[in-house]
Amino acid sequence: MRLPNQKLSRNVTLINLLVSAAALLLACAAFVGYDQISFRRSMVSEVSVRAQIIASNSVSAILFNDATSARSTLSALSASADVMWAGICTAQGKSFALYQRTGTDRVPALPSIAPGQMQSVLFGNGDIVLARAIIFRGRSLGTVYVESDLSTIAQRRKEYAAIALAVLLASMVAALLVSWLFAKSVADPIVGLAALTRDITEHKDYSARAIPTGRNDEVTLLIGSFNDMLGQIERRDRALREARADLERRVEERTAQLTHANKELESFSYSVSHDLRAPLRSIDGFSQALLEDYDAKLDAAGKDYLRRIRASAQRMGVLIDDLLNLGRVSRATIQKEKVDATALAESIAADLRRAQPGREVEFRIEKGMEAWADPGLLRIVLDNLLNNAWKFTSKRGHASIEFGLRRDNGGPACYFVRDNGAGFDPKYADRLFGAFQRLHAMTDFAGTGVGLATVQRIITRHGGSVWAESAVDQGAVFYFTL
């Protein structure tokens, strides 16, 4: 994988180039500036010395009005290549003698000497003109003017610029070389480290390692620490994976054990319940035979005992039937299909009315309710819930039972059976769904306590849940989803 094209080394190169270029330009500027100033200064003092010599050599020429001698003094300036023009003026300002390098009559702009001063300098465009007073015994005899050419300064400037450019180019090349070396030794390992980090983040492969540079510096330390960190993460990751795999294996084992134990228990209770029926039938049958065949020989107490034996045997038969049903529900294969829940509830309600036509019960069953469930098992669920509602409203003058569907936004369809019967203490709402758990006395409301356990098993097998809300004497609501 390529990083954003080795930005680090490119940036370092750029910074190197900029810094060296800036430093060099500054140094050149300072050096050229200083050179110009000192060169001008030395020019002025050179011209001044010449003017001074001419001034002292021309004193006698002025005193004796010997212009030829003055001109000859001036002509000595021809030895200095930079002197363009020179002249001597008398104290009255009259031109006394002249010297010109070229044959022209050109006279440069001349500076005037301030009172009390010995000389004055005027810088022109490409030349310098110096005026020097000629003094003899404290008296001014005139002035010497010397014009010197400054084209050497411009020449020097050009030479400096060329040298600065050459040095600049050379230092750029050197900076590039330094950057390249830096990239090799520092930037490359860091760029590689960054690439590796990104790679690991993407692919979560903690077995990858950064390659050490082999040198003894901070980059090596960084790479070493990074590799150590990767090692730790890798070990932890492996330990975590192993722990998870171990946990999964254990859960699987336990689930298999539990499923096996559950199956054994179910088939055991099924065969026990089944096998109990035959002796029970014979207890009930022989009790009945006793009552019928030995009617004359038994007194009232004996007959009462026999009737009690029969009632208990029959109750036990119901219990066994319920247990068998519970086992059957657990084993039955579920075949889901679209079921008309409204019609199912209406038929159960009709059965209930037929069984106890004397009761005044108002049924309110929502129209058009459909469910995706096993029809046989859903009938058992509704049968239990509506039977309970019917039973626990039996002491109400006006009983009302409602079966409807509540759709909470987004959630699964939630069916409910509501009644205005005896209700129960909500503290025990969870307990109701255990087998043989009853909250009401047998004398108040008959039952074995297996109904809701059966309901819960069916609902759980459908992947839904069932729960109840109630208060003593306030009726009860049973909710279930599928």
Ligand X SMILES: Nc1ncnc2c1ncn2[C@@H]1O[C@H](COP(=O)(O)OP(=O)(O)OP(=O)(O)O)[C@@H](O)[C@H]1O
Residues that bind ligand X (CB under 6 A): 322, 384, 388-389, 392, 419, 421-424, 432, 437-440, 447-453, 476
Residue placing its CB nearer to Mg ion in the complex, 240 or 446: 446
Closer residue to ligand X in complex, CB, 99/390: 390
> With CB cut-offs between 5 and 8 Å by kind, which of Mg ion, ligand X, none does residue 476 bind?
ligand X
Q: Which one of ligand X, Mg ion, none interacts with residue 389, CB within 5 to 8 A by kind?
A: ligand X
Shortest distance (Å) from residue 438 CB to Mg ion: 9
Q: Of ligand X, Mg ion, none, which one does residue 62 interact with (CB within 5 to 8 Å by kind)?
A: none
Residue 422, contacted partner among Mg ion, ligand X, none, CB below 5-8 A by kind: ligand X
Query: Which residue's CB is nearer to Mg ion, number 186 or number 389?
Result: 389
> Rounded to the nearest whole angstrom, what is the least distance from the CB of residue 450 to ligand X in the complex?
4
- Closest separation between CB of residue 381 and ligand X, Å? 11
**Rounded Cα gap, residues 117 and 131, in angstroms:** 11
Euclidean distance between CA atoms 373 and 114, whole angstroms? 123
Contacts of 1 (CB under 8 A, 6+ apart): 195, 198, 199
Residue closest to Mg ion when measured from CB atoms = 451
Structure tokens given for 281: 């039938």
Q: In what order do the strands lie in the sheet with 119-123?
A: 95-100, 83-90, 139-149, 127-136, 119-123
Nearer to ligand X, 287 or 330 (CB): 330
Report the alpha-carbon distance of residue 382 to residue 384 in Å, rounded: 5
Contact residues toward Mg ion (CB under 5 A) are 388, 451
CB nearer to ligand X: pick between 70 and 450: 450
CB-based contact 189:223 (threshold 8 Å): yes
Strand stretches in 396-449, DSSP E? 399-407, 413-419
Shortest distance, position 421 Cβ to ligand X, whole Å = 5
b vs e for 368-383, b when ≥16 Cβ sit within 10 Å of the residue's Cβ?
Answer: ebebebbeebbbbbbb
Residue placing its CB nearer to ligand X in the complex, 223 or 439: 439
* Closest distance to Mg ion from the beta carbon of 455 (Å): 8
Distance CA 381, CA 482 (A): 11
In terms of phi and psi (left: phi > 0; alpha: psi -120 to 50; beta: otherwise), the region of 208 is beta
Which residue, 352 or 389, is less far from ligand X as judged by CB? 389
Name which of 226 and 445 has its Cβ closer to Mg ion.
445
Rounded to an integer, what distance in angstroms lies between the CA atom of residue 333 and that of residue 322? 19
Shortest CB 251 distance to ligand X, Å: 31
Contacted entry of Mg ion, ligand X, none for residue 439, CB cut-off 5 to 8 Å set by kind: ligand X
Task: Supply the minimum distance, in Å, between the C-beta of residue 255 and Mg ion.
Answer: 31
Q: How far is CA 177 from CA 156, 181, 213, in A?
A: 31, 6, 20
Residue closer to ligand X, measured from CB, 145 or 424: 424
What's the closest the beta carbon of residue 418 comes to ligand X, in angstroms? Answer: 9
Residue partners of 97: CB distance under 8 A and separation at least 6:
58, 61, 67, 70, 71, 73, 74, 87, 88
Identify the DSSP state of 394. T
Question: By the 8 A CB rule, do 415 and 369 touch?
Answer: yes
- Please report the sign of the dihedral spanned by the C-alpha atoms of residue 177, residue 179, residue 180, residue 185: positive
Nearer to Mg ion, 290 or 432 (CB): 432
Q: How far is the CB of 438 from ligand X (least distance, A)?
A: 3
**Residues with Cβ within 8 Å of residue 213, at least 6 apart in sequence:** 185, 189, 219, 220, 223
**Rounded to whole angstroms, how far apart are CA atoms 234 and 227?**
10
